[in-house]
Structure 1
Amino acid sequence: MPTAFPLPDPALADRLSERLARVDAALAEAVASADALADDAGRHLVTAGGKRFRPLLTLLAGELGDGTRPELVDAAVVVELTQVASLYHDDVMDSAPVRRGAPAVHTVWGNSVAILVGDLLFSRASALVAGLGPEAVVLQSRTFERMCLGQLHETLGPRDGEDPVAHYLQVLSDKTASLLATSAQLGAMFGGCDDTVVGAVAAYGEKVGVAFQLADDVLDIASTGDESGKTPGTDLREHVPTMPVLLLRQRVARGEGTAEDAALLARLDADLSDDATLAAAVADLRSHDALAATRELAVRWAREAAAELEPLPDGPVKQALADLATALADRAA
């Protein structure tokens, strides 16, 4: 199967494509169930596809050592199972109607089934990671804890007196970036890399994850529907906090904003269900320097991610990881 992002070395791309196919086969086996409902619901998002970005990161990091080790396939399945299970829960909380181009599980079987099948997939991931040894079990459990805390803190919002921007960055780190860091860390661990390499790719994964989400915040405003695959301003319409709005809100709260800033914020906080109203708000935010500041943040996090690669040996793997960070920076620019 093709990889989620271009790789500079054809031989590396071929190896990873073959191993991703093995991951997909193992993933299908991992979600299978004797119970018909659990089987149908468990397979739903796996068969819908997805970029398999986290498994690819695991396999790619494994190439820094011995990429042929069979544990790498199991580790790649673990991180994808964890990701898919979290999506079952997220879509219930967000009332998301579609995921990976297919109806979200809760829209087909209801919220209770979606939550329970998400739990089932988490249990399958736990069983698989147990076979990888105690260090992997501890890492997986700590990652799961961070993902839950990230979702909890996103749901509750910042506490009184807490900086909303810092709160949001921590949510991105915990909810999304933690699993990317673990994906890379497991790959380097089971590729047999030394601690310096393992630590470097973990730090890289964490920062790439934050950069990716900040770039998504930019694209929700700046892209056309054809470019992003979704209606511009989707997050605005649902009043989902994103960095451009948080930066605008911060400016107004500090008394640093103009009357136009305050008026725009009031419109963003109002009902955006009408398409024309939403489009006008998107257009105004698109030209606001809060969006430019979010771009700068995304680029900064991507560059910091690339800097974490300095201890890695030069070669196609290091280049591929650096290219990904560059692509994220370009995506936000």
Structure 2
Amino acid sequence: MNASASGSSLTSHLSLSDRIFAGPRARRLLAAVEKGLEGVEASLDAELHMTDAVADAASRYLFDAGGKRVRPMLALLTAHLGSGVTDDVVAAATALELTHLGSLYHDDVMDDADKRRGVPSAHSVWGNSVAILTGDLLFARASQIMARLGEGAIRLQAATFERLVLGQMRETVGPQEGDDRVAFYIQVLADKTGSLIAAAAQAGVIFSDGPHEYEVAVREFGERAGIAFQLLDDVIDLSADPAETGKVPGTDLRAGVPTMPYLLLAQRTDADAVDLCARIDAGVDAIAEGADPALLDGPLAELRENEATQATVDLANSWSRDAVAALDPLPDGPVREALTRFAQAVADRSS
């Protein structure tokens, strides 16, 4: 995959041309962001070359499968709140995307996912051990890049990585007695997804020497937009069309990982909701004991049409609005406009 092709794929997937970078000023900004994405793509390509043949093939596997490059795009966008896209911005964006890629290898092992980005998951190709070690290798490479950018970059990477791990740990252990399951899940999303998107938005300001108050604003924006993003992923995960997700529909729930539509369904007390929730629980237990995952096809199709799924969409829109509100300290202009449209677009991907 060449760099310019990846940039074009990104803008097509998120409809950036029409939905985010609208108007003459924003079009000029889009051209600068896409040029920066070419630099990030070339940097990723170089950093993912390993001397060991197996490490090289495994490390490049999910990169070659594609991806939206949301996090680099945000870093390149917020860099225009400072001096623009510098070499350091491109390097930080590369490191954070490598961190994201590494987390995908680990997530797929822990969730026993069959597919990722439309291809068999890495652990199904090389086994769990190689997939886990590949994720570790990408984290190490990301840390090396950040180390070249100085102590502040190392702190940003370390703090973000800590939150990623804590979020995964909380998801694995699950809520404790007395915890509000919805609030607990939102915190997991903030740690696992929001923290990395926030770090990317923050990195653009930091490494373009933007004002500190903008750094705080875009960090809050990124975390809230990340939560909205993941809530909509929960809805898209129920899609009947694997081409939309690159995964088997309901992958997370089949693996016993609760998602927001299920959690909101579990709060409902009407007979139909209670019955559907019980059938999903029974199906998850049966799959864990070796049953065919297809036994949940019917219940998941019902969940897709249930009011709990629309409530998840509404909740995503609420977090999107909160993300936009965080942008108040930013000056009016194409960057703020594009960030606003980004928050609205990530919470509207099911339409």
TM-score by length of structure 1 reads 0.92
> Structure 1 residues 89, 277: CA separation in 2 closer, same or farther (over 3 Å shift)?
closer
Query: Which of 294, 300, 305 in structure 2 is aligned with 1:282?
Result: 300
Cα drift, residue 97 of structure 1:
2.1
Q: Could you tell me how far apart the structure 1 residues matched to 2:169 and 2:258 are?
A: 14
Cα drift, residue 311 of structure 1:
1.4
Unaligned runs of 5+ in 2: 285-290
Query: Which of 56, 70, 73 in structure 2 is aligned with 1:39?
Result: 56
Q: Which position in structure 1 is the counterpart of 2:272?
A: 260
Instruction: Give CA-to-partner distance per residue, 1:77-115, whole Å, 9 cap, x none.
Output: 110110111111111111122222232221222111111
Q: Is the counterpart of residue 125 in structure 1 residue 136 in structure 2?
A: no
Unaligned runs of 5+ in 1: 252-256
Q: Could you tell me how far apart the structure 1 residues matched to 2:121 and 2:258 are?
A: 22
**Counterpart of 1:87 in 2: which secondary structure?**
helix
Query: Which of 113, 126, 137 in structure 2 is aligned with 1:109?
Result: 126
**Counterpart of 1:33 in 2: which secondary structure?**
coil
Q: Could you tell me how far apart the structure 2 residues matched to 1:111 and 1:125 are?
A: 21
Q: Which position in structure 1 is the counterpart of 2:287?
A: none
Query: Which of 200, 217, 236 in structure 1 is aligned with 2:234?
Result: 217
Q: Could you tell me how far apart the structure 1 residues matched to 2:183 and 2:321 are?
A: 19
Q: Is the counterpart of residue 136 in structure 1 residue 153 in structure 2?
A: yes
Q: Which position in structure 1 is the counterpart of 2:116?
A: 99
Q: Could you tell me how far apart the structure 2 residues matched to 1:47 and 1:222 are?
A: 24
Cα drift, residue 284 of structure 1:
3.0
Q: Which position in structure 2 is the counterpart of 1:234?
A: 251
Cα drift, residue 239 of structure 1:
3.0
Instruction: Give CA-to-partner distance per residue, 1:233-285, whole Å, 9 cap, x none.
Output: 3333333201121122233xxxxx12222211111112276688534323432
The aligned amino acid for 1:16 is: V
Q: Which position in structure 2 is the counterpart of 1:296?
A: 314
> Structure 1 residues 106, 221: CA separation in 2 closer, same or farther (over 3 Å shift)?
closer
Q: Give aligned-pair identity as a percent.
A: 51
- Range with bigger deviation, 177-186 or 68-77: 68-77
Q: Is the counterpart of residue 312 in structure 1 residue 324 in structure 2?
A: no
> Structure 1 residues 89, 296: CA separation in 2 closer, same or farther (over 3 Å shift)?
same
The total of aligned residue pairs comes to 328
The aligned amino acid for 1:215 is: L
Cα RMSD (Å): 2.0
1:318-329 superposed matches below 5 A: 318-329=336-347
TM-score by length of structure 2 reads 0.87
Q: Which position in structure 2 is the counterpart of 1:270?
A: 282
Cα drift, residue 227 of structure 1:
4.7
